[in-house]
Amino acid sequence: MSLPYDPKSFPIPVVALGAGSQSEDEGLDYLSLPQGMATFQPPPLPEPEAFAGHGPALRALHEVHARLQALLAGQAVEPVRLEVLGADDLALIHQVLGEGEVSAQVLAEPGAPGQAHALPRVQIQESVFAGVWRVIERSDDGLVRDHIEVGPVPAILRQAARDDARAPLAPLQPLPPGVLNAPAILAELAEHRLHWRAGQSAEVVNLSLLPVTPEDIAYIDHIIGTGRVVILSRGYGNCRITNAAVDHTWRVVYYNSQDAVILNAVEVVDLPEVACAATEDLADSAERLTEVLQWVEQA
Confidence of residue 172 (pLDDT cuts 50, 70, 90): confident
Residues of the chain with CATH 3.30.1370.140: 51-110+118-152+277-299, 155-276
Pairing of strands 238-243, 132-138: unpaired
255 compared with 1, residue with greater pLDDT: 255
CB atoms within 10 A of CB 185: 19
- Is residue 115 scored above 80 in pLDDT? no
7 compared with 251, residue with greater pLDDT: 251
56 compared with 23, residue with greater pLDDT: 56
Superfamily name with CATH number, domain 155-276: HupH hydrogenase expression protein, C-terminal domain (3.30.1370.140)
Instruction: Give the residue among 8, 4, 27 at the shortest CA–CA distance from 222.
Output: 4
Q: What is the pLDDT of residue 110?
A: 59
Give tens-digit pLDDT for 187-235. Answer: 999 999 999 999 899 999 999 999 999 999 999 999 999 999 999 998 7
* pLDDT, averaged across the chain: 83
Extended beta strands in the chain, E state: 80-81, 102-106, 121-126, 132-138, 144-150, 203-206, 229-233, 238-243, 249-255, 261-268
Q: Residue 75: helix, strand or coil by DSSP?
A: coil
Contact 261, 254 (CB under 8 A): yes
Fold of 51-110+118-152+277-299: Ribosomal Protein S8; Chain: A, domain 1 (3.30.1370)
Pairing of strands 102-106, 203-206: unpaired
Please give the Cα distance from 249 to 203 (Å, whole number): 10
- The letter for the amino acid at 175 is L
pTM: 0.80
CB atoms within 10 A of CB 259: 9
Residues 174-181: contacts with CB under 8 Å, at least 24 apart: 175/219, 176/215, 176/219, 177/215, 178/213, 178/214, 178/215, 178/216, 179/213, 179/215, 179/216, 179/219, 180/211, 180/212, 180/213, 180/215, 180/216, 181/210, 181/211, 181/212, 181/213, 181/216
23 compared with 287, residue with greater pLDDT: 287
Give tens-digit pLDDT for 46-79. Answer: 666 666 677 888 899 999 999 999 999 999 999 9
Residues 8-16: contacts with CB under 8 Å, at least 24 apart: 8/214, 9/261, 10/207, 10/214, 10/217, 10/261, 10/264, 11/214, 12/212, 12/213, 12/214
Q: What is the pLDDT of residue 32?
A: 53
Q: Is the peptide bond before 174 cis (omega within 30 degrees of 0)?
A: yes
Please give the Cα distance from 262 to 255 (Å, whole number): 5
Please give the Cα distance from 176 to 207 (Å, whole number): 19
Average pLDDT over residues 141-169: 91
Q: Give every strand in the sheet of 121-126, ordered side by side.
A: 80-81, 144-150, 132-138, 121-126, 102-106, 229-233, 238-243, 249-255, 261-268, 203-206
Please give the Cα distance from 182 to 7 (Å, whole number): 14
